């Protein structure tokens, strides 16, 4: 998987060396010699990853990273801090300002490329979710994810049979999160299906194969998106690289440093919550795309797709499908006499009465205005007509409350009923139902007219 990588370092030979190595691996490389330029390039070019040196004059890497993560345009770009500093405080500070990883010079090429590939995969998923969220925003489904970016209060599953190590991790995490320890990998796989924000897995465990366990977690639909923090001896390069290849999100070197544990856990939980937020907004956007905002019923788009499929199955010998096409009588006079707010109250109450008088498998939909359709899979003409008359009677039985309940209106409805026959199309079926509505209105309204083919 290729990617566009921005390399930021004030020492030109370092920039050229990294550029050459990355280019040989078929990455597209952008370069900057200072933090200010890096911010401009990142905002304009939107690279997939930023390799950022810490020790730079003026704006150092920590401040540059902080600004990148504070800007909505660039906060989703993974940042790997690259520096000669190897102190614990610098590493924690880097993670604290939002860096996704921290590597030291001289750079281990194999480790760096493994990290880059892992972060590129993650960013590809996040980009897709963000793009779909933006599509939802353009459709009018707006949101603010800032409240989802907290990195505390996470549900953490520690999978480790080293009691001393897992106990220390649990003690440190308990101040901010809700950690539990599981020593049995089979039980841990079951626990991973639940609401888990982060898994910490000892891939160097002596009691079970930690790498195989990671593979099992990633192969399960219920847990494959859960972030994994792998505890591994940094000297065990083959195991470390295999863990990254299998899809762990981050590496926690042994012996576990409490501050680094907290910083990396916080970062992964924050990222998980934002990904969940984007997915929820995507699901909501998709729901809104097929739902009428006023009544909560399905809309014309959803009805058309479902009816097409049902008519197609009926044409191939499957169950028939019936439709009820209905139009609220004299609805224009409601708007003219009482205003559109009252009209909306009528439409919402109509939707409630409609939905409560059809079967669970039926699809009540609003076409627009005062027009509604019910799609009834498996229903014959006579059965559909009986349901239609039940709806008609319930509509006229009680006045519709308007003006906040201070007044009531008597409302009636005209309904046309049609059922599928051989060679039918959705358009033909709806047309027969529509003709039934016109006939009902012509004969005085508040009637059900069933139209055979």
Phi and psi at residue 8, to the nearest 5°? -125, 115
pLDDT digits (tens, 9 = 90+) for 267-325: 788 878 877 777 666 666 666 678 888 998 999 988 999 999 999 999 888 999 999 99
- Same domain membership, residue 264 and residue 177: yes
- Same domain membership, residue 117 and residue 95: yes
Of 107, 140, 173, which marks where a domain is finished?
140
Q: Which domain holds residue 85?
A: 1-140
pLDDT, position 140:
46
pTM confidence score: 0.56
pLDDT, position 145:
46
- Say if 292 falls within a structural domain: no
Decide: 51 and 38 in contact? Cβ < 8 Å: no
- Say if 289 falls within a structural domain: no
Q: What percent of the chain has pLDDT over 90?
A: 62
- Say if 40 falls within a structural domain: yes
370 is catalytic: yes
pLDDT, position 436:
96
Of 140, 169, 190, which marks where a domain is finished?
140
**Which residues, given as ranges, of the chain have pLDDT below 70?**
1, 85-87, 125-126, 128-151, 279-288
Spatial CA neighbour of 300 closest among 351, 369, 346: 369
pLDDT, position 116:
83
Of 252, 283, 314, which marks where a domain is finished?
283
Sign of torsion, CA 429 386 343 327?
positive
pLDDT, position 99:
87
- Say if 348 falls within a structural domain: yes
pLDDT, position 147:
43
- Say if 367 falls within a structural domain: yes
- Same domain membership, residue 234 and residue 206: yes
- Say if 293 falls within a structural domain: no
- Say if 290 falls within a structural domain: no
- Same domain membership, residue 269 and residue 184: yes
> Which CATH number goes with the domain that contains 178?
3.40.50.2300
pLDDT, position 259:
85
Options 182, 370, 382, 427, the catalytic residue:
370
- Same domain membership, residue 314 and residue 279: no
């Amino acid at each position: 998987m290729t990617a566009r990588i921005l390399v930021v370092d004030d020492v030109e030979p370092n920039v050229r060396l990294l550029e050459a190595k990355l280019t040989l691996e078929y990455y597209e490389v952008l370069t900057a010699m200072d933090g200010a330029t890096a911010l401009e390039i990142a905002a304009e070019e939107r690279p997939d990853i930023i390799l950022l040196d810490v020790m730079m004059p003026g704006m150092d890497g920590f401040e540059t990273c902080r600004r990148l993560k504070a800007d909505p345009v660039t906060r989703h770009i993974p940042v790997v801090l690259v520096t000669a500093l190897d102190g614990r405080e610098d590493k924690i500070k880097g993670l604290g300002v939002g860096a996704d990883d921290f590597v030291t010079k001289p750079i281990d090429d194999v480790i760096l490329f493994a990290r880059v590939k892992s972060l590129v995969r993650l960013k590809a998923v996040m980009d897709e979710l963000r793009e779909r969220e933006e599509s939802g925003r353009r459709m009018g489904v707006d949101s603010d994810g800032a409240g989802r970016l907290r990195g505390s209060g996470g549900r953490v599953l520690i999978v480790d049979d080293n009691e001393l190590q897992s106990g220390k991790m649990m003690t440190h995490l308990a101040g901010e999160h809700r950690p539990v320890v599981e020593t049995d990998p089979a039980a841990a796989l079951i626990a991973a299906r639940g609401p888990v924000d982060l898994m910490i897995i000892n891939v160097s465990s002596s009691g079970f194969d930690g790498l195989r366990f990671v593979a099992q977690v990633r192969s399960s639909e219920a847990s494959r998106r859960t972030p994994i923090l792998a505890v591994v001896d940094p000297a065990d390069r083959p195991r470390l690289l295999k863990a990254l290849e299998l899809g762990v999100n981050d590496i926690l070197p042994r012996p576990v440093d409490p501050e680094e544990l907290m910083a990396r856990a916080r970062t992964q939980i924050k990222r998980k919550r934002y990904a969940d937020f984007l997915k929820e907004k995507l699901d909501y956007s998709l729901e809104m795309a097929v739902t009428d905002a006023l009544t909560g019923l399905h809309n014309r788009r959803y009805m058309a797709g479902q009816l097409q499929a049902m008519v197609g199955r009926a044409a191939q010998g499957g169950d028939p499908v019936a439709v009820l096409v209905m139009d609220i009588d004299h609805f224009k006079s409601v708007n003219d006499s009482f205003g559109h707010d009252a009209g909306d109250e009528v439409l919402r109450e109509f939707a409630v009465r409609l939905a409560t008088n059809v079967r669970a498998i039926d699809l009540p939909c609003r076409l627009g205005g005062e027009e509604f359709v019910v799609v009834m899979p498996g229903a014959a003409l006579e059965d559909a007509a009986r349901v239609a008359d039940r709806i008609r009677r319930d509509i006229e039985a009680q006045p519709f409350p308007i003006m906040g309940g201070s007044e009531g209106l008597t409302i009636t409805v005209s309904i046309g009923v049609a059922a599928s026959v051989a060679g039918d199309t959705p358009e033909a079926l709806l047309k027969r139902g529509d003709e039934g509505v016109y006939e009902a209105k012509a004969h005085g309204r508040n009637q059900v007219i069933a139209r055979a083919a």
